[in-house]
Amino acid sequence: MSSVLEKTRRLVVKVGSSLVTNRGLGLDETALSRWAGEIAGLRRMGREVVLVSSGAIASGMQRLGWNKRPHALHQLQAAAAVGQMGLIQAYESCFRKHQLTTSQVLLTHEDLADRKRYLNARSTLRTLLALGVVPIINENDTVAIDEIRFGDNDTLAALVTNLIEADALVILTDQAGLYDKDPRKDRTAKLVAEARADDPALVRMAGGTGSHTALGGMLTKVLAAQRAARSGAHTVIASGHEENVLTRLAGGEQLGTQLVAERATLAARKQWLADHLQVRGVLVLDSGAVRALAAGGKSLLPIGVIEASGEFERGEVVSCLDEARREIARGLVNYSAQEARRILRAPSSEIEARLGYVDEPELIHRDNLVLL
C-alpha cells in the first residue's frame, strides 16, 4: 500500500507546537531548519507546498520571559505579536539556505467567511505558489477575538487546503498517527493505517490533547481531515519525529494514518458550487462564450458576456445563461455587478482602462465554474 501523497502536486503541511518549540520554552531552530530542508526536498520533487506553522505564541512567551501560557486573550494577542517576528525571521533564515523565498500570511476565520476576502486570499496564495514562494501561514492571533478564532491550526490548515484546492493535507504531530484507542492508556491500541475520511467511527477513536503546549488533540485532526475531504483532499496524520517524513510520504511510503477522500478534488468543488451556493445574479453569454465553456473548458472572459443582471459582489455566485436564457453554468464571479456591466464585451486587456485596475483577466475562472 502506497502513500496517497505519491501523486499529489500541491500540499498543505501543518506542523504543531510540539514540533517547532522546545517544550514551550521558545522556538527550536534546529527543528525549523529541518522542516525547511524537508520542504525544500518536496520542492525539488516538483511539489507546491504551503506551510501552516504553530509556534508564534510560544516564541512570544519566551521573548517576553513568561513561563506560563496566559489565559487572557489580550495577553495571548500580545505574545503572538511579539512571537510572529521571531517565528518568521527564523523560518526565513532557514529557507534562505535552500535558496527558497518565503512569505508570511496571517488569516482569521473572518477572512475566509467573507467571499471577497476569500477570493483575495486564494488569488494571493496561488500567485505566490506560481512564483515558487513557500507561504507560511498562521492564524492572525494579534487581532483575532473569540468569535472569529479558528481555535486551532488543524482547522486553519484544512480551510487553507480547501482554499487553494490542494491535493492533500499533511498534519504532523508528536503521535505516530490515529489509533483505535488512546495508546497512552491502552497498550492494545492499534494504529489506523488507512480509513475513509468521512467514516463516523474516526471521531469516536480520536482522543484528547497529549501535549501541554498544543491546543489541538487528535479530534481536531480528524475533523480537519473531514473538512479537507469536502474539497476532495486526502489527509495524512503522521509523526513529525519520523526522519524525512515529508519526502518519504511524497515518495510513496505509507506512514502514520491516511484518511482518504472518496471524491476527486475537482468533482467535489464543482458539486459544492452547483448545489450549495445561492445565485446572486445572471450573466448572458454569446454563442462563442457558450462554446468556449461547454467544449473548450475555458474561463469566462468579459468579451463573451452580453448582459449582466442582479446586484452581486465579487466572490458571489452568478448563473450563466445562453442567448435562449437556458442556464448552462454557474460560478464565482471576480467582479461586482457594477464592474461587470462596465467591462461587458471588452477584451481582458481593456479591463484596467475601463475600471482603473484589474483583479483578474477572467470574469469567472474555470476553476470556479461548473457546467450544468
Fold of the domain built from segment(s) 277-371: 2.30.130
**Per-residue pLDDT reduced to its tens digit, 217-255:** 788 899 999 988 888 899 999 999 999 999 999 999 999
Does the pLDDT value for residue 265 go beyond 80? no
pLDDT of amino acid 304: 97
Written as one string, the DSSP assignment of 199-248 is -THHHHH------TT-S--HHHHHHHHHHHHTTT-EEEEEETTSTTHHHH
Phi, psi of 273 (to 5 degrees): -65, -40
**In the CATH scheme, what is the code of domain 10-264?**
3.40.1160.10
Q: Which residue has the higher pLDDT, 144 or 245?
A: 245
The residue-averaged pLDDT of 248-268 equals: 84
Does the pLDDT value for residue 212 go beyond 50? no
Does the pLDDT value for residue 149 go beyond 70? no
Rounded mean pLDDT of the chain? 87
In this prediction the pTM is: 0.76
Phi, psi of 106 (to 5 degrees): -110, 130
Looking at 57-71, 229-243, 291-305, which range is the least confident one?
57-71
Calpha distance 268→217 (Å, rounded):
27
Q: Tell me how far CA of residue 154 lies from CA of 49, 109, 225, 294, in angstroms.
A: 16, 13, 9, 38
Axis-axis angle for helices 73-96, 29-44 (nearest 10): 50
Domain boundaries, the chain: 10-264, 277-371
Share of the chain above pLDDT 70, in %: 89
Grid cell digits, residue 13: 503541511
